[in-house]
Chain A
Amino acid sequence: GAVVSQHPSWVICKSGTSVKIECRSLDFQATTMFWYRQFPKQSLMLMATSNEGSKATYEQGVEKDKFLINHASLTLSTLTVTSAHPEDSSFYICSAKTRLAGGSGANVLTFGAGSRLTVL
């Protein structure tokens, strides 16, 4: 089945530095990827929709200058947390639309393994 690879799994950084998280579709092309953020024991909050070759669409309340998204190819989207602060510490997870095998062929989301960011 479709695989979405996300790196790094864990990252610890100092306050004020920038961190880049990569999300790759390994055996399919993903024109659209979605970036989510998850706080402990809470659900997924959509941050932005990443579109290949064009600007990302950010959700209300998400700072686009803080969370830079680049989707330069059909298999790679990156999220850069700029000038990170402790409140940016969270679990960031990307996903891509994939088509279900079998009858329905519906589009579902396949997720990467997530990246846990800790900002000291």
Chain B
Amino acid sequence: GQNIDQPTEMTATEGAIVQINCTYQTSGFNGLFWYQQHAGEAPTFLSYNVLDGLEEKGRFSSFLSRSKGYSYLLLKELQMKDSASYLCAVRVQTTSGTYKYIFGTGTRLKVLA
């Protein structure tokens, strides 16, 4: 089956750096995505990796190691508004050749003043 794991909750201080890990065991891997979701709202796209390495995008960076089935999202210079859930999602190719997106368990990040 498809399995994507993240820590359930994390707490960090404003201005700090936090790393949210994601491990996955999937078949037909075709890319890994990070989304941010504030309570009661729709998820919004943050970052995307399809090859190994680091992708940097402002205060957010995401890393992927396909051989280890591992990714992380790095948030720098944390702000109070970064308090949200962070969802790791894997795009997989199905046996019929189509694609679907499977989401991990999600990590609730609380940023403290």
Contact residues of A with B, CB < 8 Å? 32, 34, 36, 41-46, 49, 57, 93, 95, 100, 104, 106-114
* CB neighbours of A107 from chain B (8 A): 91, 99
Question: Is A46's CB under 8 angstroms from B42's CB?
Answer: no
* CB neighbours of B44 from chain A (8 A): 111
- B66-98 with Cβ < 8 A to chain A: 85, 87, 89, 91, 94, 96, 98
A93–B43 alpha-carbon span in the complex (Å):
10
Contact residues of B with A, CB < 8 Å? 31, 33, 35, 41-45, 48, 50, 85, 87, 89, 91, 94, 96, 98-106, 108
* CB neighbours of A95 from chain B (8 A): 101
- Give the dominant DSSP class at A's interface: strand
* CB neighbours of A93 from chain B (8 A): 42-43
Most chain B CB within a 10 A radius of its CB, from A49, A107, A108 = A108
Question: Is B103's CB under 8 angstroms from A57's CB?
Answer: no
Closest to A48 in B: B100
Closest to B45 in A: A108
Question: Is B106's CB under 8 angstroms from A43's CB?
Answer: yes
Most chain A CB within a 10 A radius of its CB, from B41, B85, B100 = B100
Question: Is A34's CB under 8 angstroms from B100's CB?
Answer: yes
Q: How far is the CB of B37 from chain A (nearest CB, A)?
A: 9
Q: How far is the CB of B97 from chain A (nearest CB, A)?
A: 12
Question: Is A113's CB under 8 angstroms from B42's CB?
Answer: yes
Question: Is B103's CB under 8 angstroms from A110's CB?
Answer: no
* CB neighbours of B35 from chain A (8 A): 109
Give the top 7 A-B pairs by smallest Cβ distance, nearest first: A43-B106, A111-B42, A44-B103, A108-B45, A43-B103, A43-B105, A113-B42
Question: Is A46's CB under 8 angstroms from B98's CB?
Answer: no
Question: Is A106's CB under 8 angstroms from B98's CB?
Answer: no
Question: Is A106's CB under 8 angstroms from B100's CB?
Answer: no
Q: How far is the CB of B106 from chain A (nearest CB, A)?
A: 4
A36–B33 alpha-carbon span in the complex (Å):
16
Question: Is B48's CB under 8 angstroms from A111's CB?
Answer: no
